[in-house]
């Protein structure tokens, strides 16, 4: 079933229940907007964000200590 066929079927079923088409469309849009949060989507996004932040922090620390090490060795030789 194509997505437009599915939407039409939902709208038709809602009409039979006494719900206006505009209201059905609004609810379909709301459902689709939040679809990425279902089936663990929100948790996956949060995990990916945390992983990226940890990697970024680790890189910053690594660069900081590399710069610190190189500046302390250059002071000793001069």
Summarize pLDDT for 2-61 with one digit per residue, the tens.
678 888 898 999 999 999 989 988 988 888 887 777 777 777 888 888 888 888 888 888
Q: Output the pTM of the full model.
A: 0.43
Specify whether 48 is located in the same domain as 65: yes
Residue 29 belongs to domain spanning: 1-33
User: Is residue 66 classed as helix, strand or coil in its secondary structure?
Assistant: helix
Q: Which residues contact 7 (CB under 8 A, 6 or more apart)?
A: 28
Specify whether 47 is located in the same domain as 72: yes
Q: Say if residues 21 and 11 touch (Cβ distance below 8 Å).
A: yes
Specify whether 26 is located in the same domain as 43: no
Cα dist from 9 to 4, 27, 34, 39, 65, whole Å: 9, 14, 20, 24, 61
Helix or strand holding residue 48 (H, E): helix 41-77
Q: Please tell me the total count of domains within the chain.
A: 2
Specify whether 8 is located in the same domain as 28: yes
């Amino acid at each position: 079933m194509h997505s437009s066929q599915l939407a039409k079927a939902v709208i038709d079923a809602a009409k039979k229940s006494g719900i206006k088409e505009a209201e059905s469309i609004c609810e379909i849009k709301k459902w689709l907007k939040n679809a990425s949060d279902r089936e663990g989507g929100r948790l996956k996004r949060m995990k990916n964000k945390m992983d990226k932040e940890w990697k970024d922090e680790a890189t910053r620390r690594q660069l900081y200590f590399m710069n610190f090490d190189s500046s302390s060795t250059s002071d000793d030789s001069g």
